Structure 1
Amino acid sequence: METCRALLASSDGARAQLLGLGPESGAVTGVALVLLQLPCGAPAGQVGGWFGSLVEHLRSAGVFAEVALDNAVTLADEVPDAAVRRAMAYCAEHAGEPVSVADMAVAAGVSPRTLQDRFRSGLGTTPAAYLRRLRLDRAHRDLLRIADGSASGTVAEVATRWGFTHLSRFAAYYREAYGQVPSRTAERR
């Protein structure tokens, strides 16, 4: 894994870390759960070089949604803290429900402060940011399904389903993560 991490670091400070692999419907191929870390203050759409190309390819392929966070098996040596793994599993199971850091901490069996510290040291993020990204990924997946005609609905319905009650904030988070507004993703192609 260390070799993998080194290969995925770029000179502008961005890096990708393989967090785990998960089976895909019992097939030989699998999915990868990747944590992308961008330099402080760098908008997701402005990462350059080969790393920017990788990020854009993953976005266009819908990989952020299709990594199937709810099906991924996180490798113990990548997220060694059992409390963080329990919190991540709780988030995956309850992503469409109102979830607080306190709820995540109870599920993880630690205090909210301890969970915050362990997320920061283990994943480089906060529990709330992790949950937001999980919800964004699921919303993105649903919007892609609307775009390809396999599902119906509106951006507002999708946002609400995944716990975003302020549509303008949802749109801002979504644009930061995917480089376009949610309505653009949901357009039929």
Structure 2
Amino acid sequence: MSALLVTAAPTDHHAPAGPLRLGPVTPETYRAFLASRSGAHGPSFLQVPAWARVKDGWQHQLIGWGPESGTLTGVALVLLRPFPGTRKYFAYLPEGPVADWADPDVDGWLGPLLGHLRASGAFAVRIGPTPAYRRWHAPTVKAGTGPGRRLSDVLADEVDPLGTLVADRLRARGWRRCGGESEDGADAQPRHVFQVPLTGRTPDDLWTGLNQEWRRNVRKARKSGVEITVGSAADLPEFYRLLRVTEERDGFRLGRSLAYYERQYAVLNAEHPGRMKLYLARHEGEVLAAHTMITVGGRVWYQTGASADHRREVRPSNALQWRMMLDAQALGADVYDLRGVPSTLDPGDRAHGLLRWKLGTGGQVVETLGEWETPMQGTANQALYRAFQAYLARR
């Protein structure tokens, strides 16, 4: 832990008297800590050092902490967005910090972390605690589908006691859940995600886990001659062209440029070769669908998907996802994460189609704790925070 530069004493009345070293760490030290925490509950790709270089317009810090004995116990990639006309920052830890949320002495590191960020000029902090809150298995979600129905109307198969405990701890310390307790929240990252567990499963297990429609569509793609390949940076313009087609068809805009995806691909793979891959589905020589995949430790994410408007009957997207699931399993991943899903269970809602499609993989809907915010102490910080909230509301 020699890379830790700042010694921070606990900064609130909950914190213990024991000393804690907290401060900037080198990317090498940071990555070594992440490597020690791989697995199904390992770090998000949004907390790897390279992600700071993906986010244009943000400054950043890599922070680590631990006892004076020298062993790191937690790290955080902090993105800093300057407030115009000031030297103050909004501090954002997407799906972080990477820490032991089960530690009963959360204040022992969370207090010093806030103190460090306040000293760095942060007027407010947003975090994304990593414990899950609730889980619904695919059959449960399917059985609960109906007009006007939402996930909150269906009894969860699992409630994570750690997630409940962390939420209670944050509320008790004045943190506010973004969007309040509304089901969809106001988070920058999806509150509900869809995950396929891979631990201990064979390709045959994954195949039988697909529903009948998915198996039929994968077979149809294979019979129609759909070919799946792993592309390169040179294929990103074609991916982006299909993404724009998809946005127009499905009525959404991610607001990202081709340069964004080119930068993401370059910096993630420079940090760890193969971290980001681009999968292509071709039929009769034409690329009909393209999906991106990101790997960190024992977790694999399907990040962004794009497809053409024509020849959809050959099911290129199903073929892509099946290949990506198989590759994730072959890598030894513990979980394949298909990222966000809506909370609506109403088949009449347009958004429900995305959930229905992902349900076919046989995984589970996971409700995360969502994102939480707190303003820093001080009248000026409180005023900046209110102004920042008004700005977000206008957006």
Range of TM-score over shorter length: 0.3 to 0.5
In proportion to residue count, which structure has more helix? 1
Instruction: Give the structure-2-normalised TM-score.
Output: 0.24
Q: Which has the higher contact order (CA 8 A, sep 6+)?
A: 2
Instruction: Give the structure-1-normalised TM-score.
Output: 0.41
State the structure with more CA Rg: 2
